[in-house]
A and B are shown apart, each in its own frame.
Chain A
Amino acid sequence: MRRRSPALALSLAGLAAAVAFPLLATKVTWQNAAILMLMTAQLGVAWNILGGYAGQVSLGHAAFFGAGAYVSTLLSVKLGVSPWLGMVAGAVAAGGLGVLVGTPCFRLKGHYFAMATIAVGEIVQAVVNGSDALGGAVGFNLPLGETGFWGFVFNRSKLPYYYIALGLLLATVGVNWLVNRSHVGYYLRAIKDEPDAARSLGVSLTRYKMIAMILSAGLTAMGGTLYAQKELFIDPGSTLSTSLSIKIALVAILGGAGTLWGPVLGAVVLTAIEEATRIAFGGTGRGTDLVVYGALLVVIAVFQPSGVMGLFTRRAPRAVPPPEPEARFP
């Protein structure tokens, strides 16, 4: 307990800062950047359940993200269902999709699994793109008008989106924390670190991986619904692309896969680098923003290979161990 209390104090301070931030930083641009960070962080934390704790590196999470965005949008555009209910429906649909994906793919190891998830993500994108019922390549525009809480569209202020994103992030972190502390998390670590020993002890590998998959997919989908309601426009390119899948994974890896707060930190750093390089250099049209962005990623990977979280774990031991070398693919 002695070790946990400073961590607890730190978490509470961070929470207070996060709640107060948009009230102090009233500039719309700052609030928007902060919302992007929270949304990105939430996706990274959701990915972390499967990719970090269970060690199943998915590069196809855009399929789940898109499932959330599309299900809630279809329900609200075609049937007038509140996007809040759509969010739940999207999470359920994504969980189902996760089971469909996991059933064949969990037999695959390491890179073969990662490639299979890329394949699934690309296939889902191509199918949606070709389907008129799902909006095809054109996608959907959501109506712009302010609707109040139940309708999930807010024009007058950024604050509702900010606090919804923050709430969703905290809920996702909470799920992560619970998983990590429960027997599920214990088995997941066993599966990741010592799969053969775990199997010989009678742990059902597939069952626990599947639990991680369903949670991860469902939470990612909720992020997708939030995206749709914030941008009010979805199409296959922006919600189902492999580059989005890779970005989700990068966030978690940059921060420190398999740690509770790593993905949050990763999102803050990645979004800050992305936005700052684009704002500073994007208008030049010379690609300078990409040069700086890419170089920074390489530098971080070289000097902080276990993720930015490693900067903190070195000073104070964490409840969650940093990823072992065995976290590597076989």
Chain B
Amino acid sequence: MTVELLLQTLLSGVLFGLVYALVAIGLTLIFGVMDIVNFAHGEFLMFGMYAAFWGFAFWGLDPIVTLPLTTLLLFAVGVAVYRLVIRRITDAPMLSQIFATFGLMIFFRGLAQYLWKPDFRSVDHTIVAGKVAFAGLQFGLPQVVAAAGAVATTAAVWAFLRFTRLGAALEATAADKEAAALMGIDAQKMFALAWGIGAACAGVAGALLATYYPVFPEVGSTFILVAFVLVALGGFGSVVGAFWAGILVGIVEVMGGFLWDPAYKMVLVLSLYLVVVWFRPQGLMGKA
């Protein structure tokens, strides 16, 4: 019984951690390319969840079926946010960039309440409903699918950055804007691309989460603190770092809450961050 409980808890932690990671890689990607912390990132997630929900409510389409659409939609939202707002503050002091994205966060939350009411909504049946059981352990299928989707998306983003010309251009812009510009890379386009991909990642996460987590205007606030911790813990700008940090944080949060006291599960996660940066001030995989 106890071993099963422990194992069950541990693996649940990994599953949650993977979804955290998916929310965080979009955030860290935007930071890596532009040095901007996007406070409104949780709201991208919220929009992704609402997109999945409305697809279900209006057309009876499963969030998994509409996932590609949700992803594209959020890509467009990310690009639009960049073109309309962020582009104008690229050279502003970092503090006012924080200010702008914080304002966006409040604006988006208010907008969601204005448009869709503050009600909690859920997708009440989905093709991924059900359970996965093996060796006495059981997991909700939506969580397993979400975790698998998170791994696949992270791998895709990583491969994109690593193996495509466009990805290389993005990385080059992240490393050195001036040098990249000299090589004929249009920084504006790269920035827009980063925002598009960053928001799209949150969109994927939103669509996957919508299969088991209720949607409401404030849902972004639930995930954003964890996402920030992940980005910092993994090292600002490091996609791979955020991924591993996600798994680590998921395990620490769920196991810590189980073995110690749930009231202090975030305390454990945040202490983990403080301990890690005590030894490595640039996070797990960040550049010093």
Contacts and interface: CB of A to CB of B under 8 A. Distances in A.
- Report if A and B touch in the complex (beta carbons < 8 A): yes
Interface of A: 57, 104, 107-112, 115-116, 118-120, 122-123, 126-127, 129-130, 242, 246, 249-250, 253-254, 257, 286-302, 305-307, 323, 325, 327-329
Q: In terms of DSSP, what is the predominant structure of the interface of chain B?
A: helix
B106 A297 contact: yes
B96 A287 contact: no
B113 interface: yes
A294 B109 contact: yes
Contacts of B89: 301-302, 305
Contacts of A300: 99, 103
Contact of A291 (B92, B96, B110, B278): B110
Nearest to A326: B93
Using C-beta atoms within 8 Å of the partner chain, give the interface range for chain B: 35 or more
Interface of B: 31, 35, 37, 85, 88-89, 91-100, 102-114, 118, 217, 225, 228-229, 232, 236, 261, 263-264, 266-267, 270-271, 273-274, 277-278, 281-283
Given A57-B95, A302-B85, A104 B274 contact: yes
Most buried by A among B97, B232, B264, B283: B232
Given A111-B37, A112-B283, A250 B102 contact: yes
A298 B110 contact: no
Contacts of B118: 287
B74 to A, nearest CB: 19
A301 B94 contact: no
Given A130-B263, A294-B104, A328-B93, A115 B110 contact: no
23 contacts: A111-B232, A112-B236, A119-B271, A119-B273, A122-B225, A122-B266, A122-B270, A123-B267, A126-B263, A287-B111, A291-B107, A293-B107, A294-B106, A297-B107, A298-B103, A298-B104, A300-B103, A301-B89, A301-B100, A302-B100, A305-B89, A323-B93, A328-B94
Of residues B31, B97, B107, which shows the largest number of chain A Cβ atoms within 10 Å of its Cβ?
A: B107
Contacts of B94: 110, 327-329
A115 B226 CA distance: 11
Contact of B96 (A116, A120, A127, A307): A307
The 3 closest A-B pairs by CB, nearest first: A290-B110, A297-B103, A294-B107
B85 A126 contact: no
B229 A115 contact: yes
Contact of A253 (B99, B106, B110, B281): B99
A263 B9 CA distance: 47
Given A123-B271, A287-B111, 11 more contacts: A104-B274, A104-B278, A107-B281, A119-B273, A130-B263, A257-B93, A290-B113, A291-B110, A292-B110, A298-B104, A305-B93
Contacts of B35: 328-329
A108 B236 CA distance: 13
